[in-house]
Structure 1
Amino acid sequence: MNNQVLFTHKDLVERSKLGDRKTQYKLYSLYVNAMFNVSVRMVKSKEDAEDILQESFIDAFKNLDSFRYESTFGSWLKRIVINKSINHLKLKRIPLIALEEHENWIPQQEEDIKEEDLDISSIKTAIKQLPEGYQTIINLYLIEGYDHVEIGEILGISTSTSKSQYHRAKKKLVGLMS
């Protein structure tokens, strides 16, 4: 990643570090919608996502001194939002379960889906039908772009568990799309 990207909004971040409330609000305004979308995809509740978002921004502004431009501000903030969303799910005790243990699991062969048959709304609908744990893995891997090592760290599971959960979630998703 080049330095220009890493230093996106550097002036706003630096002024925010000094406690400039107007600048903090500008920074908030730039990221609030994207971060809300990240959280609501994970927790499935607008109200919970709003709470998580507020907590995330409060934590981010309190800890701005720890932001060192090793990533973009948006990536750093996104990690905070995802961690808070995961913690929220853990508090609600939404487990990652093996596909075979899920009550709606029906063993089936993976079917090929033609790309032209797919549309975003049908994919979103199918993802919502997955068990909560699978939704979390799909969101982190496919939508948020984390790799299995990162997902393992975020969820407190092994890399191999992340991979197997993703494989099972994808298989179930393909079945729902057929």
Structure 2
Amino acid sequence: MTEEAILQGCLKNSAKAQKSLYEKYSGKMLAVCYRYAHNREDAEDMLQEGFIKVFSQIHTFKSQGAFEGWIRRIIIHTCINNLKKNKKFKESVDLIHANSLQIREDTIPSILQAKQVVECIRLLPIGYRTVLNLYAIEGFSHKEISDLLDIEESTSRSQYTRAKAMLEDILIKKNILQKPRQIYLLASGGE
């Protein structure tokens, strides 16, 4: 089924089209949910809730931009709303230091190492992990993050800086990074 056929079928509430849509995008979207969730079960719950929203809001898709991007945005907002509902994103950890961490693609030479980095990101407190994901991976600005999470823009910047420092420590302890160095996150611009 083509993406257009899936979209048209979903607009008509076709179960077959909805199943095709879910099968096509659920793997990628589960990975998105997993970055925000505490565990796989929470990620799966976020995914299900997100797809319910996708199906109920599909009539709002205006074919401007990528359909997958539209779905991703709904999934991200679902994850954030879930965290806000449980007030988990407000967790904060005081750090003794705040070293700068930036991850450059060439410092991650293999898929295996990239998976290790993702698992290390999951070890961050949920507040740090959420801001890091939104800023460095999803490309949101600190202003957008502050609006989305109902926090101050300075809090977003602070949590991002602390997340980078904590991630660097975790990567060094797990021998993914051999020594402290500048690492450039796949961010839109970096800090």
1:70 is aligned with what amino acid? Q
Whole-angstrom CA distance in 1 between matches of 2:17 and 2:101 = 51
Residues 62-81 of structure 1 show CA distances to partners (whole Å, capped at 9, x for unaligned) of 11111112332211111111
User: Kindly tell me: are residues 9 and 87 of structure 1, through their superposed partners in 2, closer, same or farther at Cα, counting changes over 3 Å?
Assistant: same
Superposed, which structure 2 residues align to 1:46-61 within 5 Å? 46-61=40-55
Helix, strand or coil for the counterpart of 2:29? Answer: helix
Question: 1:21-36 alignment to 2 at 5 Å?
Answer: 21-36=15-30
Bigger shift: 116-125 or 163-172? 116-125
Structure 2 match to 1:106: 96
C-alpha distance in structure 2 between counterparts of 1:39 and 1:152, whole Å: 20
Residues 143, 153 of structure 2: 8 Å contact kept: yes
Of 147, 156, 170, which residue of structure 1 is paired with 2:164? 170
Contact preservation (8 Å) 1:110, 1:175 = no
Q: Distance in 2 between matches of 1:29 and 1:112?
A: 34
Q: Return the offset for 1:115.
A: 3.1
Does 2:107 correspond to 1:115?
yes
Cα pair 2:100 2:161 within 8 Å, conserved: no
Deviation at 1:147, TM superposition (A): 2.8
Pairing 1:7-26 to 2, within 5 Å after superposition: 9-26=3-20
Matched, 1:72 2:66: yes
After superposition, give the CA deviation of every residue in 1:112-153 in whole Å (9 maximum; x if it has no partner): 999379932442343233222101111222233333233223
Please list every run of 5 or more consecutive structure 1 residues that lacks an aligned counterpart in the other structure: 1-7
1:40-75 deviations in whole A, cap 9, x for unaligned?
A: 110132112212211211121111111112332211
Q: Which residue of the partner structure matches residue 4 of structure 1?
A: none
Give the TM-score, by structure 1 length: 0.78
Q: After superposition, what is the alpha-carbon deviation per residue over 1:68-122, rounded to whole angstroms, capped at 9, x for unaligned?
A: 123322111111111111122222221435543xxxx333655899937993244
- Give the Cα separation in 2 of the matches to 1:64 and 1:112: 37
* Range with greater deviation from structure 2 (44-53 or 88-97): 88-97
CA contact (8 A) 1:137 1:151 kept: yes
Q: Letter of the aligned partner of 1:106 in structure 2?
A: I
Contact 2:134/2:140 (<8 A) preserved: yes
Higher helix share: 1
Distance 1:54 1:128, change over 3 A: closer
Query: Alignment partner of 1:129: what SS?
Result: coil
RMSD between superposed Cα atoms in Å: 2.8
Determine the structure 1 residue equivalent to 2:143. Answer: 149
Percent identity for Structure 1 against Structure 2:
35
5+ long unaligned stretches in structure 2: 173-191
| Count, aligned residues | 167
